[in-house]
Amino acid sequence: VRAARVTLTARLPEFRLTMRDIARVQVGTVVPTGLSKDARVIVRAGSQERFIGHPGRVSGSLAIRIVDTLPSTTPSPDSRTPS
């Protein structure tokens, strides 16, 4: 089980654009988010929100620094009530 691969996804906080800016979006457009490097990013493991992070870069690639964990919504085997 520990070797199983789980997809991680990150969700940026909401940000707003004007209708004019949205109308100009096309393939190749870089959309400015206006978010700071300290913006809160929620990271999901599979379908569960598990971590809080901040956006950044590592060797020129986008990255997320994990700064906190979120409580698991899946009960652990120890916490289940016996049948």
Whose CA is closest to 12, among 74, 73, 62? 62
48-74 tens-digit pLDDT: 999 999 998 899 898 999 999 998 776
Dihedrals phi, psi of 35, to nearest 5 degrees: -85, 145
pTM across the whole model: 0.68
6-48 tens-digit pLDDT: 999 998 888 889 999 999 999 999 988 888 888 999 999 999 9
For residue 49, the model assigns a pLDDT of: 93
What tokens were used for 20?
A: 């004019």
